[in-house]
Amino acid sequence: LGWEPERLDVMLQGTLTHQVFEELFQASNPIPEPEAINSQIEPLLDSAIRTHAPFLRAAQWQVERKHLASSIHKAALAWREVLTTLNAEVLGTEEWLAGTLDGLPIHGQADILLGLPDDRLLVVDYKKSSATSRRPRMQKGYDSQANLYRTMLQTGGPKSEDNTALLEKLRAGETTGIVYFMTNDQTSLTDALVVESGSIPGWEVLENDVSQLAMELIRERLQEVGAGQLYLNREGDGQFFDKQAGVKPYALDNSALIPLFTAPGEAREAE
């Protein structure tokens, strides 16, 4: 089917890990005790596998299942320690958020929203990887995902207004930090200076603006689209379509979207 097996495997492991974490650390529930985590990992993983990848229940995948269960177990115990040390309350999981960026509507789904004492908030995204890939991006200011979730909270909030308790706690938030919890090495990469975090293993604070350059680039691309310009990320980047860049945009050839997002003259060239 043209998929890369290694890439598919990483994505699948991430999906399964996310579902187990969502079930373990639920909004408004007490943080589970280690004994509860120990007993629930395998049943929750089996439920996630039944939903997303039934083939993994076959005998030939036994080693992979055990390895994944062990990895999730270790990560879940580490994440529990983070939550208990921070005295955090899980306000929402897999929460759909909506807001605006420079007047444009944006939306996305945050893995987990945490409330800390003194009306502090954390927006958390789980990543089924290690910190070695995410850390340099944040250090260079080219991370955007969690910051966009924070922007949604600051300019809008949850898409559903049914949960009034959640809405009240989010509106009362004095500060909002972002955290990436890397499940492979149990590292928390964050821009939040949280006093309680001093004793948390693997808690790393990046004091620079982790999203400044990424947000500048996003705004630049939005301005280009608003001006009817669409650029290809190929050799000759910055050149429009194939006439100057020498790249044939096959996927764009007969798209009805092209006239909607391009200036009239360029739209005719694209056709």
pLDDT band at 255 (very low <50, low <70, confident <90, very high): confident
DSSP-derived secondary structure for 118-166:
TTEEEEEEEESS-HHHHHHHHHTT---HHHHHHHHHHHSEES----HHH
8 Å CB contact between 234 and 241: no
Q: What is the distance between the alpha carbons of residues 145 and 239, in angstroms, rounded to a whole number?
A: 27
Mean pLDDT of the chain: 87
Helix/strand/coil percentages in the chain, nearest 5: 50, 20, 30
Instruction: Summarize pLDDT for 13-56 with one digit per residue, the tens.
Output: 999 999 999 999 999 899 999 999 999 999 999 999 999 999 99
Instruction: Summarize pLDDT for 57-109 with one digit per residue, the tens.
Output: 999 899 999 999 999 999 999 999 999 999 999 999 999 999 999 999 999 99
Instruction: Summarize pLDDT for 105-141 with one digit per residue, the tens.
Output: 999 999 999 999 999 999 999 999 999 989 999 999 9
Q: What is the pTM of this model?
A: 0.84
Instruction: Summarize pLDDT for 173-230 with one digit per residue, the tens.
Output: 999 999 999 999 999 999 998 888 888 999 999 989 999 999 999 999 899 888 877 7
Task: For tokens 């391009």, name the residue.
Answer: 262
pLDDT at residue 151 greater than cutoff 70:
yes
Rg of the Cα trace of the chain? 21
- Longest CA–CA span in the chain (Å) reads 66
Beta bridge mates, 96 = 109
- pLDDT score of 243: 43
